[in-house]
Amino acid sequence: MTDTATGRWRTRLEAAVTARGRLCVGIDPHAGLLASWGLEDTAAGLAEFAEACVTAFADEVAVVKPQVAFFERFGSAGYAVLERTIAALRSAGVLVIADAKRGDIGSTSDAYAAAWLDPASPLASDAVTVSPYLGPGALEPFVRHASAHGAGLFVLARTSNPEGEGVQTAHTASGATVAQHVVASADAVNREAGDAVAGLVVGATRGHGLDLREFSGPILAPGLGAQGAAAADLPSLFDGASKLLLPNSSRDIARHGPDVTALRDAARRVRDEVERALA
């Protein structure tokens, strides 16, 4: 792996969470949330929402995770808002995880990886969420792009949605669960790359049943707030794996909008709760 001007992924992530804490704030502008802010369910309303979030979070949190689907539903106009949002956050020193959950094979996977991780792309982010369920080996183009550009991946392992349980807790021929196999595969990527290129997505809403104590990468943990997880739950759920744990809260913070000061205060409050719980 060769470093780029942006630096190694683990180094950048560690510096960011040291400076601003481990909270990852989601930007999830679904139709109901836009309405609750008094905004139209249009690309213009989306832009107002995103601009308020950028202003509120830019100086308070280390990591922000835009949910791509809520921008994508407005077509090219929505993608234009997403491009501006990503660029503004990164310019303010925030690390951006594009929550795109991409996963395919061959040249298609390579194109997805370039779209989200290549600095030449208008969608270039610091990391992207990916699905390993076409086989962890199919993520090779993402690994290659992430390694080349000092970026990261967050691989879906044990998600917070109940529909995923049957697949993720099924047992492989080795006796491990599918989710634990994903953990092992991601760890192997990091050993080979010499960096924490591959992180995991592990929901914080229930016992995940994974052994994460020796995992070498970051863990994105959605479910804080509206989905039922509390900061106080994190030490027991992620025992021994909290140094690069990124608990994610979206709706619980966004409900304080559209007032930018209230949004900023909510993000600061949740960030500090997370840090106290994990201290």
Catalytic residues: 101
> At residue 141, what are phi and psi to the nearest 5 degrees?
-60, -35
Number of residues written out for the chain: 279
Whole-angstrom distance, CA of residue 221 vs CA of residue 211: 15
Mention every residue, 6+ apart, whose C-beta is less than 8 A from residue 221: 201, 202, 203, 204, 229, 234, 237, 238, 245, 246, 247, 248
For residue 161, what are its two tokens?
């949605």
In contact, 203 and 234? CB cutoff 8 Å: no
For residue 77, CA distances in Å to 29, 66, 200 come to 14, 16, 31
One-letter amino acid for residue 248 of the chain = N
Nearest-CA neighbor of 252 among 228, 236, 217?
A: 228
Q: Which SS3 state, helix, strand or coil, does residue 152 take?
A: strand
Beta partners for 24?
63, 248
For every residue of 105-128, DSSP letters joined together read: -HHHHHHHHHHHH-TTSTT--SEE
